[in-house]
Amino acid sequence: MSYILQKSKADKTVDAAMYVVLGLFALATLFPLYYVIVMSVTPFVEVLRNGGFVVFPGKLTFAAYREILSSPRIPQALQVSVTVTAIGTALNLLVTTLLAYPLSKRFVPGRNAILMALVFTMLFNGGLIPTYLVVRGIGLYDTIWAMIVPGMVSTFNLLVMKTYFENLPQELEEAAKVDGCGDVTTLYRIVLPISMPIMATLGLFYGVTHWNDYFKGIMYLTDKTLYPIQVVLRGMIQSPNVSQELQAINTMELAQLPPETVKMATVVVAIIPILIVYPFLQKYFVKGMLIGAVKG
């Protein structure tokens, strides 16, 4: 005999209240993005007519997008950001994997001391000035590598990957070694193929960090041709003269556009790549965080 559990009126009321709260939270989260997109396609006349705040535009214009993409600055900055993100993420995953795999083996000599040293870096660091001097001293200053090499390994991501490797079935590695595989071959042929979820998770972590990073560009770069998109966007937000900051080809048309519209359009262009990639890897976010919380 089957029983159908029915929610009481109080339970339904609580559920309805929770849905309302979550809906309002989602609206508050998505509205800033919606507002940025709306402002980037709203004609200047309509912006002035509504006192600078438009939620539902009557007309749409893509003049700001045409102008910023016709400028040599934005496409060049996007190319730099894509290059830094792609190369940096690949190197991050490579170095993190080569460090996390041996640390996941309890028989490795000095394992605990190395882990303690790595965890120590999560609490203390060398400081801004020493890091700057190191970057200059090893010849990375004013090169694209200054945005990649410093902070090559995230200790948090390293611990997450180490925990994932520890949870893999040891029988697979033992069988590979019985077949004559060495440690490198076992890692390449056995461990990595079944570790794609953690690779996707940490790859997304590293990629988003590289894409959003502007501090290294400000600290270590003086050549404007090497500026990533976030540094250019920061300069536009702080500069009262957007046309001069962009060095646009058609400065006359750009001068007729409101600075806020150009800034909003640049923000949208800067976040589009992440919005495209994120939905495909989002499911790994929660799994990766849970993996790191199982055991340390």
Residues 158-196 have pLDDT tens digits of: 998 998 888 888 888 888 888 788 888 888 888 888 888
- Contacts (Cβ under 8 Å, ≥6 apart) of 278: 204
H-state helical runs in the chain: 9-41, 44-49, 63-70, 73-103, 111-123, 128-137, 155-166, 170-178, 183-186, 196-212, 215-220, 229-238, 242-246, 251-255, 259-294
Q: Is residue 114 classed exposed, middle or buried when 0-12, 13-18 and 19+ CB atoms within 10 A define those classes? A: middle
Residue 280: count of CB within 10 angstroms of its CB: 10
Taking a C-beta distance cutoff of 8 angstroms, is the pair 142, 226 a contact? yes
Residue type, 124: F
Give burial (CB, 10 Å; 0-12/13-18/19+) of 202: buried
pLDDT at 94: 94
Residue 83 amino acid letter:
T
Position 294 pLDDT exceeds 70: no
E strand or H helix at 268: helix 259-294
Nearest partner of 296 among 95, 125, 152, 112, judged by Cα: 112
User: 247 and 166 in contact (C-beta within 8 Å)?
Assistant: no
Q: Which whole number is the average pLDDT over 261-269?
A: 82
CA quadruple 43, 45, 46, 48: dihedral, nearest 10: 120
Report residue 6: phi and psi, to 5°. -110, 135
Both structure tokens of 241: 């003269």
Model confidence band, residue 10 (pLDDT cutoffs 50, 70, 90): confident
Element (H, E) at 265: helix 259-294
84 and 209 Cβ atoms separated by less than 8 Å? no
Residue 139 CB burial class (10 angstroms; 0-12, 13-18, ≥19): exposed
Q: What is the pLDDT of residues 219-258, one digit of tens each?
A: 999 888 889 988 888 887 776 555 555 544 344 344 456 6
- How many helices and strands (H and E) does the chain possess? 15, 0
- Residues 214, 227: Cα–Cα separation, whole Å: 9
Query: Distance (Å, rounded) from C-alpha 278 to C-alpha 196?
Result: 16
Tell me the domains of the chain and their CATH numbers. 1-61 (no CATH), 70-296 (1.10.3720.10)
DSSP state of 193: G
Residue-wise pLDDT for 85-134, tens only, equals 999 999 999 999 999 999 988 888 888 899 999 889 888 888 888 889 99
Give the pLDDT confidence of 13-50 residue by residue, as tens digits.
888 899 999 999 988 888 888 888 888 888 777 776 77
Whether 288 and 280 have beta carbons less than 8 Å apart is answered as: no
Encoded tokens for 49: 């007519």
Give the residue carrying structure tokens 């988003």.
208
Determine the Cα–Cα distance for residues 90 and 96; give it in Å rounded to an integer.
10
The predicted model scores a pTM of: 0.78
Q: How far is CA 99 from CA 36, 96, 223, in A?
A: 41, 5, 33
